[in-house]
Amino acid sequence: MGRPPCCDKEGVKKGPWTPEEDLVLVSYVQEHGPGNWRAVPTRTGLMRCSKSCRLRWTNYLRPGIKRGNFTDQEEKLIVHLQALLGNRWAAIASYLPERTDNDIKNYWNTHLKRKLQAGARSTTSSRSSPTRPTASMGLPQPAPTAAARRPPARRPRRCPSARPPRLGRTCSPPRTSR
DNA sequence: AAAGAGGTCAACCGCTAGAGC
DNA sequence: AGCTCTAGCGGTTGACCTCTT
């Protein structure tokens, strides 16, 4: 008998969360606290996978999250930490408690990577050896997370193209930023 | 005003570490 | 020691949005 899937694929809702689902999840977490995500779908009646619940909470519903509008200071910190730690977004996020790893990852991939590439292109002629930043460059202390303990190396994915088509984004709340 | 291109970001998937038995 | 299960992580996707033509 193989390992069962993390959640029942039949009857599990995918795609954007509705405000009603958010409300259910928030009230559950307020009552029981975050954790034991496995129990959340059964206890709340949400037709969502436990992973989806955890992700929604940590990336969107968790209190104290700042969204969008990265400051110059945050941007510099992310660039510095990325050079220092690599793509360990959770570890980087631990230095920015108001930001989520997903947010930082997105910001890096959409803004900073491009920015740095453009900068690198303009300075390729004057290529002194890049000064690799050190951990003692005035960084705040990270919150202790499991991410900080994990090694950065990961295996390549097995079949990246075998994915079912996504459901349409039909009922997400209107975007606030931009 | 319409169409196409490119950017953004929420959410998914697959994988690994670690706990529990 | 070995197996199962869960939590958490990083990479990726694709719908939606904005800008350009």
Nearest-nucleotide field for A15 (CA, C1'): B11
Please write down the HEC assignment for all residues of chain A: CCCCCCCCCCCCCCCCCCHHHHHHHHHHHHHHCCCCCCHHHHHHCCCCCHHHHHHHHHHHHCCCCCCCCCCHHHHHHHHHHHHHHCCCHHHHHCCCCCCCHHHHHHHHHHHHHHHHHHHHHHCCCCCCCCCCCCCCCCCCCCCCCHHHHCCCCCCCCCCCCCCCCCCCCCCCCCCCCC
A58: Cβ under 7 Å from strand C? yes
Domain boundaries, chain A: 19-61, 72-118
Tell me whether domains A19-61 and A72-118 share a fold.
yes
Return the CATH number of the domain spanning residue range A72-118: 1.10.10.60
Per residue in A160-177, pLDDT (tens digit) is 232 233 233 333 333 333
CATH label, A19-61, candidates 1.25.40, 1.10.3720, 1.10.10, 1.10.3470? 1.10.10
Q: Model-level pTM?
A: 0.74
Per residue in A64-82, pLDDT (tens digit) is 888 777 888 888 888 888 8
| Nearest amino-acid residue to B14, taking CA and C1' | A157
A162: Cβ under 7 Å from strand C? no
A157: Cβ under 7 Å from strand C? yes
